[in-house]
Amino acid sequence: MSRIEQEKRVVTAMIGVYCRKKHKSRTLCPDCEALNAYARKRLSCCKYGENKSFCSACKTHCYAPQHKDKIKEVMRFSGPWMLLYHPIMAIKHLLTTH
Ligand SMILES: [Zn+2]
- For ligand 1, the distance from its centroid to the CA atom of residue 41, given in whole angstroms, is 18
Q: Can you give the residue range of the structural domain that contains 72?
A: 3-97
Query: What average pLDDT score do residues 70-93 get?
Result: 91
- For ligand 1, the distance from its centroid to the CA atom of residue 34, given in whole angstroms, is 9
- For ligand 1, the distance from its centroid to the CA atom of residue 32, given in whole angstroms, is 4
Domain count, the chain: 1
- For ligand 1, the distance from its centroid to the CA atom of residue 73, given in whole angstroms, is 12
35: Cβ contacts below 8 Å, ≥ 6 apart: 15, 67, 70, 71, 74
Q: Residue 95: pLDDT above 80?
A: no
Q: What is the pLDDT of residue 91?
A: 85
Phi-psi region of 69 (alpha: psi -120 to 50; beta: other; left: phi over 0): alpha
Q: Residue 52: pLDDT above 70?
A: yes
